Structure 1
Amino acid sequence: MHAVRPRRIGLVLAWAIGAGALGFGATGPAEAEVARRSGEPPLPRHRPALPTETPLQIEDGQLEPVAWADLPGWAEDDHAAALSAFRASCRPLVRGDASADPRPLRRALIAPCRRALALRAPSAEMARKFFETEFRPVRISRIGESAGFLTGYYEPIVDGSRFPTQIFKVPMYRRPPDLVSPNAKPGQPFPNRGPALRVLADGSRVPYHDRAEIEDGALAGRHLELCWLKDPADLLTIQIQGSARVRLEDGTLLRVNYDGHNGFPYTAVGRVLIDRGHIPREEMSMARIRDWMRENPEEANEVRRQNRSFVFFRITGLDVHDEPVGGQGIPLAAGRSIAVDRGLHVYGTPFYITADLPIASLRSADAFRRTMIAQDTGSAIVGPARADLYFGAGDEAGRVAGRIRQAGRFVMLVPREIDPVAVGEKMPLPLLRPPPEPEKPAVKRRPNRAEQRARRSHGAR
């Protein structure tokens, strides 16, 4: 465990090896020989796009540079799969307008992205060398903590209908036209957190309907229904996951994706059930929540409404075999995509995450050691070392994702154009809490004249 330095970057490792020493800085004899033997072209020359003193600033985060050799399981990871996911993120990064996200890390990713996209059929070894040469590993956690927190998510596949029936009675709504967000930007997706308001006929704005009001029919009769589901537990699951495949009665699949929310903060229903003693903490999973709600429908209505947040959806044109589209606007990669705090992190950033997760069963502790790419976000994903792991679509992916609530260690792969060492020199230390003052010895007070007379008279008696 490393020492905690509040509001300052923990800097304990001197970077003795520069980019050129590993071969990507300049294509040297070693890289030429690797390329000749593998039949692959040498990697492009490294041309820094930013000054190396550009600081890396993550609010509430403490950073500690580490060595590649210090990453458990790094050599055994499937680097080719990680590079494939990274390249998918690179395409919108290279094409996009850098001014839309002026953070140094966003700009610093452009050069590695261009070099990644220039690679032709890279082998696993070339992929590993790419990451090791283009990035620096920097451990990240919240200030005062040594580890972060992981959850899992997936794309549910549920039954539904285009029309209401005796079986399918729960509507899934599209985003209403009177719902607006003060934080929305033209051409950008509807924000997944922050205020959302309802525009009235006179142009004034008021808070939008909460979950209880919507479930009681506040949006009924406005032709906003995308489809109808069997029970509220299905809808809640889809709202938590952010996307779904709805299997219609004629066998076709309707692909739906997040398209907005009503502005109320998310309240974890699982937390409510734990606090009320309905489900033991050690047994908590999404499957247990669904089972409890189906077994206790009346009480489930009240519990569900503790989460006043309500999510709206849109129909996507995805093929049946496509993965859902994440916040970056690209299809997610099962086992390689993560949702992160969008306010702190940049889409496309690689993270090497290590944890012991209950993948095989609820009580197992399977080693999870792999490079993940930030490609999505979520309203409940808050903090510098907080991630939601995407496990794919379907029931089995849901069973695994629903079990994930574990601590994990995060190592951010930082482009070499950004020097994390410089941050410690630029970020001021906060005012530390002063130590408690030592107790002063009691000062004997000199008795006044009345007390002196009383003592003399008492002594005379």
Structure 2
Amino acid sequence: MLASFSLGAEAARRHSRSHYHRLPEVAAIPPRALPYPQLPLPFEIPGAQYLPLAWADVKGWSDDDHLAAYKTFRASCRSINAQTGAGEQKALGGSLSEPCRAAKSLEPADDTQARTFFEDNFSPLRISRLGEPDGFVTGYYEPVLEGSRTQTDVYNVPVYRRPSNLFVRGYNQASVSLPNKGSVYRKIGRRKLVPYYDRGEIEDGKIAGRGLEIAWLKDPTDLLFAQIQGSARIKFDDGGTIRLNYDSYNGYPYTAVGRVLIERGIIPKEEMSMQKIREWMAQNPDGAKELRRQNRAYIFFREVNLSDKDEAVGGQGIPLTAGRSIAVDKSLHVYGTPFFIEGELPIESDRARTPFHRLMIAQDTGSAIIGPARADLYFGAGADAGRVSGRLRHPMHFVMLVPKSLDPGVRAARLPVPDPRPSEKIAKLFPQTGPKDPAKDPAKNPAKDPAKGETVAIAGPVPLPAPRPVIEPVREPRRHMKSRSHQQ
């Protein structure tokens, strides 16, 4: 009985409250329009700072061989013109298709015409990592190595093709040139995925005897540097040659063995080069084995149909041009983008400071190439190219050539400007914030006008109307009801 009474009383109370005390419904306030439209930024590369330049401000621009740069750019255009669909979701997007269309029918006869092409179709933009004044360059090349088609006592270091159980999400296992970033798995059965073997496990024979050997080399250091470069030529005793290109990797981040030697105090940073690493590894075979395993990343190759006269194929899928092709961060940049790189490099010798001002074309990428102003300069094939590229670790100025359809200056002109600032007189009379420190109170410390040499008083903030006072409702005294007498 008590329970039913309580439930009934609660239902009556809720009904009374909802019936007599329901607040009136207020129409929804429409969202306030922003003072400025939401327009995309004119040009944006994550983590980068950039400054538009005039061509006259690009140091060394007029001294370069623009015709050689034009031929390299036009080679990239063959790949760009063949693309269909929407452009890439990057700062340049598909804007390179416009200068590539112009280059399709242009055959410049001399350097002047080639230079005019770049100046008519691009705008120079100084670019670097946010907070840093310069970019950074290294060099790479295509090693030419001695090898064997079969394993022997001398040639016993295998060069592997990609294993069939290597799996990357979003890619078919038969795809050519899997990405060099991201997770890579070893597929067990139909569903189970585990991390792939690292360098140490592969060197210990985890995938040996499966018919994956393309060729055999003499020295594991040769294989390590071929993997770092991403391509190689292998010459056999019978006079034959095969060309190898990057095909996939095992999913582990790249660790520079040179940096390990610097951190251990074995080779000073200022003396570091590929030749120094090779010399140390040759003199310390056991230490070289341990050092290689510090870089757990491992590259698998594929054989490509190229003659000895052809250069290595880069990430864009076209042969590279020695001295004109660069590898860039593919997550930020688009293949085919021209970069003018300027500074001094040790080209002629270890200590030389050779002026370098050259228009390079982005046609390749690499797992260690990270950042908006980071490039690997391609120097060709062979020992000489290896000596030059092996000693490059230098800051350089980067000027990115942006198609004029994306000219930041032109696009920024369409952005709305802020409201005009109030005049100096109004700003003095009505400052937006009053001083909190009494010592800085303008009423007690009048300011001096430097133009007139007079002391003037600056008014305080414009007083706002006082808020409406909160008036508590007056409660009427409760009337006492006379109880009726009960009849006996």
TM-score category of the 2 structures, normalised to the smaller one: 0.7 to 0.9
Question: How do 1:204-243 and structure 2 match up within 5 A?
Answer: 204-243=192-231
Q: After superposing the two structures, state which structure 1 stretch, 102-111 or 172-181, moved more.
A: 102-111
1:334 to 322, 341, 366: 322
Q: CA deviation at 1:307?
A: 0.4
Partner of 2:105: 118
Q: CA deviation at 1:98?
A: 3.9
Partner of 2:352: 364
Instruction: For residue 342 of structure 2, give the secondary structure of its aligned residue in structure 1.
Output: strand
Given residue 291 of structure 2, which amino acid in structure 1 is its aligned partner?
V
CA distance in 1, matches of 2:90, 2:261: 40
Q: CA deviation at 1:121?
A: 4.2
CA distance in 2, matches of 1:235, 1:121: 42
Q: 1:296-317 CA distances to partner (integer Å, 9 max, x unpaired)? A: 1101111110000000000000
1:128 to 95, 115, 122: 115
The answer to whether 1:78 aligns with 2:65 is: yes
On the 8 A contact 2:86/2:94 being kept in 1, the answer is no
On the 8 A contact 1:184/1:191 being kept in 2, the answer is no
Q: 1:48-107 CA distances to partner (integer Å, 9 max, x unpaired)? A: xxxx98832211011100111111111110000000000000011011124362446131
The answer to whether 1:146 aligns with 2:133 is: yes
Q: 1:390-441 CA distances to partner (integer Å, 9 max, x unpaired)? A: 0010000000000000001100000000022346998xxxxxxxxxxxxxxx
Partner of 1:289: 277
How many residue pairs align between the two structures?
A: 376
Given residue 248 of structure 1, which amino acid in structure 2 is its aligned partner?
F
The answer to whether 1:307 aligns with 2:295 is: yes
The answer to whether 1:349 aligns with 2:337 is: yes
Q: CA deviation at 1:256?
A: 0.2
Q: CA deviation at 1:249?
A: 1.4
CA distance in 2, matches of 1:125, 1:354: 20
CA distance in 2, matches of 1:151, 1:425: 39
Partner of 1:68: 55
The answer to whether 1:157 aligns with 2:144 is: yes
CA 1:274 to 1:183, structure 2 compared with 1: closer, same or farther past 3 Å?
farther
Q: CA deviation at 1:180?
A: 1.3
The answer to whether 1:277 aligns with 2:265 is: yes
On the 8 A contact 1:338/1:374 being kept in 2, the answer is yes
CA distance in 2, matches of 1:278, 1:66: 43
Given residue 262 of structure 1, which amino acid in structure 2 is its aligned partner?
N
CA distance in 1, matches of 2:232, 2:238: 17
CA distance in 2, matches of 1:357, 1:168: 36
Given residue 396 of structure 1, which amino acid in structure 2 is its aligned partner?
D
Given residue 401 of structure 1, which amino acid in structure 2 is its aligned partner?
S
- Greater RCO, 1 or 2 (C-alpha within 8 Å, sep 6+): 1
Given residue 371 of structure 2, which amino acid in structure 1 is its aligned partner?
G
Partner of 1:56: 43
Partner of 2:80: 93
Q: CA deviation at 1:383?
A: 0.2
2:93 to 106, 117, 120: 106
Given residue 57 of structure 2, which amino acid in structure 1 is its aligned partner?
D
On the 8 A contact 1:183/1:194 being kept in 2, the answer is no
Unaligned runs of 5+ in 2: 1-38, 416-488
Q: CA deviation at 1:193?
A: 1.2
CA distance in 2, matches of 1:343, 1:93: 17
Instruction: For residue 403 of structure 1, give the secondary structure of its aligned residue in structure 2.
Output: coil
Q: CA deviation at 1:195?
A: 1.0
Larger Rg: 2
Partner of 1:36: none
On the 8 A contact 1:53/1:418 being kept in 2, the answer is no
Given residue 245 of structure 1, which amino acid in structure 2 is its aligned partner?
R
> Which TM-score applies when normalising by structure 1?
0.79
Unaligned runs of 5+ in 1: 1-51, 427-461
Instruction: For residue 191 of structure 1, give the secondary structure of its aligned residue in structure 2.
Output: coil
